[in-house]
């Protein structure tokens, strides 16, 4: 049999698959929504000092703890970490990481892009703390493979007594 054209046929198929392949981009920011029943009472019980408020309005201006935030959002990371790791030292900040909640409240007119940026910054603050608790870099912490028992153990140790509490408040009109 003449097999000289096999390479050409294979090439054609190869090009077809090259073109149709979309490298899956299944990565993103996880978030757990609160369950349906109204948690409003619980929210009120939270002491003001245990809440770190980040608000954004429809013009994409950010309000952090009732103060306008004019700097880059990246500079918010140390501020959130200071709040989380306070452990009752500063009476205006959180009692303990367990009590601390980062509350994000946006307006219906806020852009999704800004919302993701804020969530990203909050997650970065948490991830850096988690990473430093087990002595690895934030990058390594993000790439921990939870199916691997050694990595899973690290992950659990990092998160022990330090839940990632991000609250997404219902937006104002």
Residue ranges in contact with other proteins by CB under 8 A:
3, 6-7, 10-11, 13-14, 17-18, 20-22, 24-36, 74, 106-113, 115-117, 119-120, 123-124, 127, 142, 146-147, 168, 170-171
H or E element in which residue 84 lies: helix 76-84
Pairing of strands 101-107, 51-56: parallel
> Least distance in Å: CB of 27 to other proteins?
4
Rounded Cα–Cα distance for residues 96 and 39 (Å): 21
H or E element in which residue 123 lies: helix 112-133
Rounded Cα–Cα distance for residues 165 and 111 (Å): 23
Minimum CB distance to other proteins smaller for 10 or for 90: 10
> Least distance in Å: CB of 131 to other proteins?
11
Minimum CB distance to other proteins smaller for 88 or for 172: 172
> Least distance in Å: CB of 97 to other proteins?
18
Give the closest residue to 131 by CA, choosing from 52, 77, 54: 77
> Least distance in Å: CB of 93 to other proteins?
23
């Amino acid at each position: 049999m003449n097999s000289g054209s096999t390479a050409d046929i294979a090439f054609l198929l190869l090009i077809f698959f090259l073109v149709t392949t979309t490298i899956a981009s299944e990565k993103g920011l996880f978030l757990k929504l609160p369950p349906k029943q109204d948690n409003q009472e619980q929210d009120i019980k939270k002491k003001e000092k245990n809440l770190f408020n980040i608000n954004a309005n429809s013009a994409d201006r950010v309000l952090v703890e009732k103060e306008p935030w004019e700097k880059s959002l990246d500079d918010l990371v140390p501020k959130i970490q200071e709040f989380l790791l306070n452990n009752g030292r500063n009476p205006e900040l959180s009692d303990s990481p367990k009590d601390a909640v980062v509350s994000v409240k946006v307006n219906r007119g806020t852009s999704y892009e800004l919302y993701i940026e804020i969530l990203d910054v909050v997650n970065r603050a948490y991830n850096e703390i988690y990473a430093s608790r087990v002595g690895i870099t934030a990058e390594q912490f993000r790439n921990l493979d939870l199916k691997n028992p050694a990595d899973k153990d690290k992950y659990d140790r990092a998160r022990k007594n330090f839940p990632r509490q991000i609250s997404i408040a219902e937006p104002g009109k």
